[in-house]
């Protein structure tokens, strides 16, 4: 069967759904029973099965259903799945994070959250598209668009049409800005046409629109995202930006902010926000009128 | 060459197209004349009166007539409406070869083997002229389409041109009738003088079979037995041979000019039709038949259609496809016309040529694929030999001059079809029928192995539809696998709905509608060719056949919307407009009546309210009859209308329908229908039970009989049990060999006789007689007291959905309550202060904020001094960071984020806040407008910061990426970015309006609060022109604060009252909106009047009147003014001099007359007594009074 299909990736649907942020679909695909179909979804080898499970559990993680992962992956599961489990542990409890990272350093695996250098160093060893995509993401968070473009080029050489490459192209295009923004928009648009529109894709489109100062268009896209999930943190953040640019009353903006504070206290945006508030309070003390009434 | 229609018959010797209707006449060698509809492909009529072959045939251009001439020497004129021959013209003495009507006069021209050509008047039914001169058979004679000429061809090897102007003159002269009458008698004598030979064309070596005029040029074409086609030219005096087309290798039967193109068509006994290029005299196309010699050609006068008659029938054909290549995207139609790509905006109907196509291909563009993302098109061109097909990739120029559009360089490659599969990818089906994926540079990116395939179609991003011999496959190009297949032969076109949820596959005579997964939803067969289609916005597929516009619902319901004279190609459907292209590539809009399909759609979608509306507004119950029987059945069941459903079920007579109906009827207790359903479906068990519970014993007994006949033992027994028929049961048991059971049954029920008889049959040695249970109870069904003959009573239906729909309609229109915004002033304005609210006149230029000093030195010290977010890792030396494992990898240092660049590129405070650099932002505000108390700025700062960055998700579960919207994103490049501000002057102004409303309503404190936020926002604006911000009025804050203050003051003593009056007077000197000023002046006027300071009061009154208040207010003011003017004195001395200009101290509310020292707030411009210098401004509450600053900076222009 494998020979017939040539280079067809039997896990395509599973991976694809995961990358575009369609997690439930990813889970559904991965859990499908084998069908009596030429393209049935019975992994052809144990390795493939492990790979499939990796995506399955990662999709659960993305849905923040850490418990499923922590319970499902047993001590005797393959090492790949152990890594996934560790990631779930890391995300599920803030208190244990340092310990996990320390543990990780010993075992040598990947983490991107805090230590970008270590992450890049680790990723540097990988050659899969996903490693490269992650590298690009780290580079972009470091504002190294130049290096990200180089890495993207490598990806494109490997497989230009892969979903990950396309997504990475869109990220880089957003960072580059200018005319590339429209390209990035089209990539997200194409993906949602082809598969289904997800929060990930919608927020990508919104970011493109907003970067082009097309606020009204962005509103439509974000509204759609909000309809899908009313407490999705990135959607809320984008709405905070958008409502102000649309000149809405400050109360509207504050509503989204409160919603965000309510549901996602640990989100980096809020951490930044609080830090900035403190900074403001500190800076205020530096100024005072020369006379008091 | 495209064959449109073919007939099989005896040899076809003559052909004529009807000029308007889709008809063609064929005269046959066996004496029959056939009238065909070539569009419907049907034989309309047959005319069989000639004896022997009919060679001449011609439709009249206007009248319902045609003329024929045969080997029986007869010319017959027929009326096809009356379907009979009107009369016969006799005179020729041999076979008649051709007969033609004159386009204008009532003449018929005939050519005969008797070597003459005759002209007949079909009104007087006489021969008016005989043209003699040929000395062999005349094979063909035709009128010139506009001049008084006749051309004839004869086996005497000549072609002759005759001048018949004499005949025309004779006919047109006043006494035409008499002359004609005389002429008849004198034809043989004087005929020659009416028509004279003008030219004799010699050049053919053998007999000439056909000659014809060019429709507009002085040219003649002839075909002869010397196998040549000759072109002749003539002028007034002579005619000469122009050229010869050689190629036929047998007698040329017929040759004609193409009515519109520079082409000649000829056919021959060599079994071929050839097309010649008139200017190059070379063969362009050849069409061969295997066995049939060609005899005659006919050209349609208006359409690009031809007919050719051969030994065993006729063909109707055209030389090339007339389907325009077009593509629709959104509101734009792109289509190819002549050598231009044109763009039509459906909304504005603006039609422009956007680009000129590269010339070079003699074939028209076959199909088009448009890519909106890149504004590029793929144009495919099919050659006669498919292997030579090519496609061109063009990117459409952004701007073009419609009169003289650019001709951009395209990229041409060979390939059958090219279709976009993604924004930057297209698929090409090459001549080896393999699939290539190419990029925008027309380079092959990959090759894809596909199942056998002869054509590809668009199928959304990343997918294609592949057509093979008997089906269509949905193929994912990226995954390289087939997703679905549907069987349908020879799909020609594919039309996707706007949301790509449905697709219509169009074949020659069939339409299949599928969903996205290519599951067939319905199949429609058409007798006539399917041409094109488009989806309307409600999901109905509107398509055209050669002669109809039709609709199809995805449920399969379809029907005709209207008829068409000529084929059109639908491009878009909106409401009742069908946008289309005709064969001349002209965009057209046709109107249709969508009622019928909307109605059906509403029925299918169960939108009964809509149905009701359609019915009430349009056609009434007639529509119900149009509905497809199945839809009607479902609908009736849905409504619970068993009778209608029964009718529909009878019409359909399907088992599944009867079953569904049975269930529904059972629920309603409509047992007669239930009975019928069970009978129809032969459901005997259920039927038996039905009879039992309805107590219909007679029928139950009948069922028992039926069961017995059917040898259904258990059914038989069951029925007997139901009936309580014990002896029958015994009999059944006995018959099926259950002897002991039979005995027991008989014995238990006391049928002793039978029990005995049974007992005897037992063999005492082998079998034991079973014991009868002494405690047995009688098992007997209760007899029905009252058999149920009628159905269960039903409640009368409460309310039909139509009534509901109409009732619902009435509710609209109650929303008309408007809020009366012209409310009178609130309490804050005191007892008699009221006003109308109408403010749009505040835009008058009054005063600019701050000073206009531009370009003071700011120094270079504003570079960012510290990187705020640098992670500690960066402090490490770069080289040392590399781990041991990957020795060479050096993690990159952090780059410069756009927000850092913003700080570098701008000195506007808001840019720094957006960048998150609060420290520098504060310093800027401090230096520019003297802010020293940043507390009130906190919310503004935080809000501003939060709109500086959007986010998007990278890989799942990783922290999101941030994007930085920039206001100059189009041309900033990597380094020159500036953030999108998100705070607009217009927003502030609209907020200002709210403040004015609050002011009007007297809610001063709230208004002051809001005014202040606006004021604080002013330094966070970015405007192109500083003049724009002049309209923010600060004096409201001073005035309103004072007014609030005044309200709090006691009014007990005279001094206190004087102070109140003073403050009211000062308020009148604030710069306010006229509406507010009226209120302020009235308050002051009243206070001063009460204080008996009539002189000042009179001043207020006059100012008030100048503002033009409402009539009642004006009247009252005039009264007060009159009262004041009686005693024009002030009773009390106040610190108020209206004639001496002053500023008001915002802290102490005392006048600061001109010339006295004053300190100002750097932001608001409010004035203060010098004692307040250094304190916080009362107006802004953030700035320091009298601080030395550089002034407000809100525009980048200020730094130039």
User: In the beta sheet, which residues pair with residue B239?
Assistant: B234
Q: Does B878 touch chain A (CB under 8 A)?
A: no
Structure confidence at residue B1041 (pLDDT): 75
Residue among B420, B902, B960, B1175 with most chain A CBs within 10 A, to mutate: B960
Within 10 A of A40 (CB to CB), how many other CB atoms are there?
13
pLDDT band at B874 (very low <50, low <70, confident <90, very high): very low
In this prediction, residue B218 has a pLDDT band, given cuts at 50, 70 and 90, of very high
Q: Is the pLDDT of residue B53 over 80?
A: yes
Q: What is the pLDDT of residues B1110-1122, one digit of tens each?
A: 888 888 888 888 8
The mean of the pLDDT values for chain B is 80
Q: How far apart are CA B717 and CA B738, in angstroms?
A: 12
**Local confidence pLDDT in tens for the 293 residues of chain A:** 333 334 556 778 888 888 888 888 888 888 774 444 444 455 567 777 788 888 888 888 888 788 888 888 877 777 778 778 878 877 777 677 777 766 666 555 444 444 666 677 677 666 778 888 888 888 888 888 888 888 888 888 888 778 888 888 888 888 888 888 888 888 888 888 888 888 888 999 998 988 888 888 888 889 888 888 888 888 888 888 888 888 888 888 888 888 888 888 878 888 888 888 888 888 888 888 777 76
**Contact flag B946-A290 (C-beta cutoff 8 Å):** no
Q: Which chain A residues contact residue B1171 at CB under 8 A? A: none
Q: Which residue of A has its CA nearest to B973?
A: A178
Res B1046 pLDDT > 80: no
In the structure, what pLDDT confidence band is assigned to residue B810 with cuts at 50, 70 and 90?
Answer: very low
- Residues in chain A within 8 Å Cβ distance of B445: 160-161
Contact of B795 with chain A, judged by CB distance below 8 Å, is answered with: no
Q: What is the DSSP letter of B931?
A: B
Q: What percent of chain B has pLDDT over 70?
A: 86
Domains annotated on chain B, with CATH? 2-168+194-318 (2.130.10.10), 495-592 (no CATH), 627-682 (no CATH), 684-790 (1.25.40.470), 898-982 (no CATH), 1137-1199 (no CATH)
The answer to whether B264 and B221 are in contact (CB under 8 A) is: yes
Residue ranges of alpha helices (H) inside B254-309 are none
In angstroms, the CA A279 to CA A285 distance is 10
The answer to whether residue B66 scores a pLDDT higher than 90 is yes
Closest CA to B1094 of B1131, B1041, B1064: B1131
pLDDT of residue B188 exceeding 80: no
CA distance linking residue B855 with residue B1141, whole number of Å = 32
What token pair was written down for B592?
């249709």
Inspect the interface and report whether the beta carbons of A247 and B963 lie closer than 8 Å.
no
**pLDDT one-digit tens code per residue, B959-1012:** 788 888 888 877 776 677 788 877 777 777 787 778 778 877 777 778 778 878
Q: Is the pLDDT of residue B615 over 70?
A: no
Q: Compute the average pLDDT of residues B136-154.
A: 93
Name which of B286-295, B801-810, B1168-1177 the model is least confident about: B801-810
A278: Cβ–Cβ under 8 A, 6 or more apart, which residues? none
Higher pLDDT, B868 or B778: B778
Asked if B870 is an interface residue toward chain A (Cβ–Cβ < 8 A), one would say no
- CB contacts, 8 Å: A134 with chain B: 955, 958
As given in the structure block, the two tokens for residue B488 are 């349908």
ipTM of the complex: 0.84
Spell out where B516-599 has E strands. 520-525, 530-535, 541-545, 548-552, 558-563, 569-574, 577-581, 587-591
pLDDT of the residue at B1030: 57
Contact B918/A276, CB-based, under 8 Å? Answer: yes
Which pLDDT score, from 0 to 100, does residue B843 have? 37
- Least confident interval from B233-247, B468-482, B1044-1058: B1044-1058
Give me the residue label for tokens 């940043």.
Answer: B934
Is pLDDT above 60 for B805? no
Residues of A in contact with B935 (CB under 8 A): 284
Contacts of B871 in chain A (CB under 8 A): 116
Say what the pLDDT of residue B316 is.
Answer: 94
In chain B, what is the straight-line distance between the N-terminal and C-terminal CA atoms, in Å? Answer: 72
Residue in B with minimal Cα distance to A182: B373
Q: What is the number of other CB atoms lying within 10 angstroms of the CB of residue B477? A: 22
Dihedral angle over CA of A119, A125, A127, A128, nearest 10: -50
For residue A211, the chain B residues in CB contact (below 8 A) are 950, 963-966, 969
- The yes-or-no verdict on residue B775 having pLDDT over 60 is yes
Q: Does B462 touch chain A (CB under 8 A)?
A: yes
B856: pLDDT strictly greater than 50:
no
Report pLDDT for B1015.
Answer: 79
pLDDT in the model for residue B613 = 60
B295, pLDDT greater than 90: yes
Q: What is the spatial distance between Cα A9 and Cα B82, in angstroms, rounded to a whole number?
A: 72
Structure tokens at B477: 């190009």
Give the pLDDT band (50/70/90) at residue B1200: low
Tokens, residue B1072: 């306010």
More confident residue, B1094 or B855: B1094
Q: Which of B951, B959, B977, B1146 to mutate to test the interface with A (most CBs of A within 10 A)?
A: B951
Q: Is the pTM of this model over 0.80?
A: no
By the CB < 8 Å criterion, does B950 face chain A? yes
B63 pLDDT exceeds 50?
yes
Of A177-186, B186-195, B322-331, B667-676, where does mean pLDDT reach its minimum?
Answer: B186-195
Compute φ and ψ for B889, nearest 5 degrees: -80, 125
Report pLDDT for B172.
61
B966 in contact with A, Cβ within 8 Å: yes
Q: Report phi then psi at B962, rounded to 5.
A: -115, 140
Kindly tell me if the per-residue pLDDT of B421 is higher than 60.
yes
**In angstroms, what separates the C-alpha of B937 from chain A's closest C-alpha?**
10
Whether residue B202 has pLDDT greater than 80: yes
Minimum mean pLDDT among B229-243, B602-616, B997-1011: which range?
B602-616
B189-198, B805-814, B1053-1062: least confident range: B805-814
Task: Please classify residue A55 by burial: count the beta carbons closer than 10 Å to its beta carbon, then call 0-12 exposed, 13-18 middle and 19+ buried.
Answer: buried
Q: pLDDT tens, B383-412?
A: 877 788 889 898 888 777 777 777 788 888
Q: In what order do the strands lie in the sheet with B332-337?
A: B326-329, B332-337, B340-345, B350-356
């Amino acid at each position: 069967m494998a020979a017939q299909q040539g280079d067809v990736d039997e896990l395509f649907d599973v991976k694809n759904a995961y990358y575009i942020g369609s997690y439930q679909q990813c889970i559904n695909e991965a859990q499908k029973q084998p069908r009596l179909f030429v393209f049935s979804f019975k992994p052809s080898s144990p390795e493939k099965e492990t790979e499939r499970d990796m995506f399955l559990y990662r999709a659960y993680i993305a849905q923040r259903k850490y418990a499923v992962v922590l319970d499902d992956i047993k001590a005797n599961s393959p090492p790949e799945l152990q890594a996934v489990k560790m990631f779930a542990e890391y995300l599920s409890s803030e208190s244990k994070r340092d310990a996990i990272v320390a543990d990780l350093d010993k075992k040598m695996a990947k983490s991107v959250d805090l230590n970008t250098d270590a992450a890049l160093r680790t990723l540097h060893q990988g050659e899969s598209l996903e490693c490269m995509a992650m590298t690009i993401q780290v580079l972009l968070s470091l504002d190294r668009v130049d290096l990200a473009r180089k890495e993207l080029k490598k990806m494109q050489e490997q497989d230009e049409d892969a979903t990950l490459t396309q997504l990475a192209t869109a990220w880089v295009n957003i960072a580059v800005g200018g005319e590339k923004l429209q390209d990035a928009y089209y990539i997200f648009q194409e993906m949602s046409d082809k598969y289904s529109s997800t929060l990930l894709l919608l927020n990508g489109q919104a970011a493109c629109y907003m970067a082009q100062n097309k606020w009204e268009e962005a509103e439509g896209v974000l509204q759609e995202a909000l309809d899908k999930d009313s407490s999705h943190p990135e959607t809320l953040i984008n709405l905070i930006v958008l409502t102000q640019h649309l000149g809405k009353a400050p109360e509207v903006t504050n509503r989204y902010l409160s919603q965000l504070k309510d549901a996602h206290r640990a989100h980096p945006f809020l951490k930044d926000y609080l830090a900035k508030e403190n900074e403001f309070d500190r800076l205020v003390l530096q100024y005072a009128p020369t006379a008091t009434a | 060459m495209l064959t449109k229609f073919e007939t099989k018959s005896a040899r076809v010797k003559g052909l004529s197209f009807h000029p308007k209707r889709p008809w063609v006449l064929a005269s046959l060698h066996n004496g029959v004349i056939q009238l065909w509809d070539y569009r419907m492909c049907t034989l309309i009529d047959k005319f069989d009166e000639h004896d022997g072959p009919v060679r001449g045939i011609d439709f009249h251009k206007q009248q319902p007539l045609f003329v024929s001439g045969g080997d029986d020497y007869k010319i017959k004129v027929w009326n096809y409406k009356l379907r009979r021959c009107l009369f016969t013209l006799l005179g020729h003495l041999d076979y008649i070869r051709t007969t033609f009507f004159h386009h204008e006069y009532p003449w018929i021209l005939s050519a005969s083997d008797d070597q003459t050509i005759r002209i007949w008047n079909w009104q007087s039914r006489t021969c008016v002229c005989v043209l003699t001169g040929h000395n062999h058979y005349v094979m063909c004679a035709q009128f010139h389409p506009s001049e008084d000429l006749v051309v004839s061809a004869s086996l005497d090897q000549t072609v002759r041109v005759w001048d018949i102007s004499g005949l025309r003159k004779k006919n047109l002269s006043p006494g035409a009738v008499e002359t004609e009458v005389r002429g008849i008698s004198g034809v043989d004598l004087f005929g020659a003088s009416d028509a004279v030979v003008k030219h004799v064309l010699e050049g053919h070596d053998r007999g000439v079979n056909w000659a014809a005029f060019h429709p507009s040029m002085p040219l003649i074409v002839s075909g002869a037995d010397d196998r040549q086609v000759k072109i002749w030219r003539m002028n007034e005096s002579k005619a000469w041979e122009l050229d010869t087309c050689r190629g036929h290798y047998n007698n040329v039967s017929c040759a004609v000019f193409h009515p519109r193109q520079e082409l000649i068509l000829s056919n021959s006994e060599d079994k071929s039709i050839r097309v010649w290029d008139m200017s190059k005299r070379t063969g362009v196309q050849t069409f061969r038949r295997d066995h049939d010699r060609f005899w005659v050609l006919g050209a349609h006068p208006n359409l690009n259609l031809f007919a050719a008659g051969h030994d065993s029938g006729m063909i109707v054909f055209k030389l090339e496809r007339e389907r325009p290549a077009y593509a629709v995207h959104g509101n734009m139609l792109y289509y190819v016309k002549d050598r231009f790509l044109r763009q039509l905006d459906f909304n504005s109907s603006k039609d422009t040529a956007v680009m000129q196509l590269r010339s070079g291909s003699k074939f028209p563009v076959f199909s088009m694929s448009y890519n909106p993302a890149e504004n590029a098109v793929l144009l495919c061109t099919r050659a006669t030999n498919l292997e030579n097909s090519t496609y061109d990739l063009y990117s459409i120029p952004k701007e073009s001059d419609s009169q003289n559009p650019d001709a951009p360089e395209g990229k041409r490659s060979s390939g059958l079809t090219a279709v976009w599969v993604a924004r930057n990818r297209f698929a090409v089906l090459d001549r080896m029928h393999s699939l290539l994926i190419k990029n925008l540079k027309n380079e092959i990116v990959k090759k894809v192995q596909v199942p056998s395939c002869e054509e590809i179609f668009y199928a959304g991003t990343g997918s294609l539809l592949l057509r093979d011999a008997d089906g269509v496959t949905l193929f994912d190009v990226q995954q390289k696998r087939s997703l679905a297949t549907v069987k349908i032969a020879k799909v020609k076109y594919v039309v996707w709905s706007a949301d790509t949820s449905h697709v219509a596959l169009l074949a020659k005579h069939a339409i299949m509608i599928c969903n996205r997964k290519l599951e067939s939803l319905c199949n429609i067969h058409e007798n006539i060719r399917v041409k094109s289609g488009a989806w309307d916005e409600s999901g109905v597929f509107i398509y055209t056949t050669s002669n109809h516009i039709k609709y199809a619902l995805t449920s399969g319901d379809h029907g005709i919307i209207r008829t068409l004279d000529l084929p059109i190609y639908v491009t878009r459907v909106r409401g009742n407009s069908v946008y289309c292209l005709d064969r001349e590539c002209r965009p057209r809009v046709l109107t249709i009546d969508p009622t019928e399909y909307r109605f059906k759609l509403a029925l299918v979608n169960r939108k009964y309210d809509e149905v009701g509306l359609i019915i009430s507004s349009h056609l009434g119950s007639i529509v119900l009859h149009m509905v497809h029987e199945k839809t009607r059945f479902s609908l009736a069941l849905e409504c619970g209308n068993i009778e209608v459903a029964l009718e529909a079920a009878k019409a359909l007579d399907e088992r599944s329908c009867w079953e569904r109906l049975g269930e529904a009827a059972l629920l309603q207790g409509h047992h007669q229908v239930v009975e019928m359903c069970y009978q129809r479906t032969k459901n005997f068990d259920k039927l038996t039970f039905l009879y039992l519970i309805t107590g219909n014993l007679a029928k139950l007994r009948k069922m028992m009989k039926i069961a017995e006949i059917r040898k259904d033992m258990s059914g038989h027994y069951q029925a007997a049990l139901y009936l309580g028929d014990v002896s029958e049961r015994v009999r059944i048991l006995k018959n099926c060999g259950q002897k002991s059971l039979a005995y027991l049954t008989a014995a238990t029920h006391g049928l002793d006789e039978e029990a005995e008889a049974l007992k005897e049959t037992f063999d005492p040695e082998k079998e034991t007689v079973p014991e009868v249970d002494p405690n047995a109870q009688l098992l007997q069904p209760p007899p029905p007291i009252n058999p149920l003959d009628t159905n269960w009573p039903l409640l009368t239906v409460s309310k039909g959905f139509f009534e509901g729909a109409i009732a619902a309609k009435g509710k609209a229109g109650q929303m008309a309550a408007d809020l009366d915004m012209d409310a009178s002033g609130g309490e804050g304005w005191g007892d008699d202060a009221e006003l109308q609210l109408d403010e749009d006149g505040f835009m008058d230029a009054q005063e600019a904020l701050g000073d206009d000093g531009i370009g003071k030195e700011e120094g270079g010290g504003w570079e960012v001094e510290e990187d705020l977010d640098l992670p500690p890792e960066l402090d490490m030396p770069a080289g040392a960071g590399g781990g041991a494992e990957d020795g060479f990898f050096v993690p990159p240092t952090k780059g410069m984020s756009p927000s850092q660049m913003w700080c570098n590129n701008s000195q506007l405070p808001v840019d720094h806040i957006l960048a998150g650099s609060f420290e520098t932002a504060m310093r800027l505000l401090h230096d520019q407008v003297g802010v020293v108390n940043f507390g009130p700025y906190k919310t503004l700062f935080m809000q501003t910061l939060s709109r500086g960055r959007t986010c998007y998700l990278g890989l799942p579960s990783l922290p999101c990426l941030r994007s930085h919207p920039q206001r100059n994103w189009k041309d900033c490049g990597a380094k020159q970015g500036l953030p999108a501000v998100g705070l607009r002057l217009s927003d502030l102004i609209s907020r200002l309006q709210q403040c004015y409303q609050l002011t009007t309503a007297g809610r001063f404190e709230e208004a002051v609060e809001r005014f202040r936020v606006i004021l604080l926002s002013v330094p966070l604006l970015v405007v192109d022109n500083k003049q724009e911000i002049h309209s923010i009025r600060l004096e409201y804050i001073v005035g309103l604060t004072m007014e609030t203050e005044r309200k709090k003051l006691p009014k007990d003593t005279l001094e206190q009252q004087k102070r109140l009056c003073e403050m009211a007077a000062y308020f009148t000197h604030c710069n306010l909106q006229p509406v507010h000023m009226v209120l302020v002046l009235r308050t002051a006027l009243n206070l001063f009047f009460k204080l008996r300071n009539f002189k000042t009061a009179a001043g207020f009154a006059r100012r008030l009147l100048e503002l033009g208040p409402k009539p009642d207010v004006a009247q009252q003011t005039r009264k007060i003014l009159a009262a004041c003017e009686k005693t024009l004195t002030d009773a009390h001395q106040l610190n108020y001099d209206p004639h001496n200009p002053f500023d008001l101290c915002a802290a102490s509310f005392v006048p600061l007359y001109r010339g006295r020292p004053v300190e100002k707030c750097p932001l608001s411009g409010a004035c203060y007594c010098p004692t307040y210098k250094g304190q916080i401004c009362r107006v802004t509450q953030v700035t320091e009074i009298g601080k030395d600053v550089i002034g407000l900076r809100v525009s980048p222009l200020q730094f130039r």
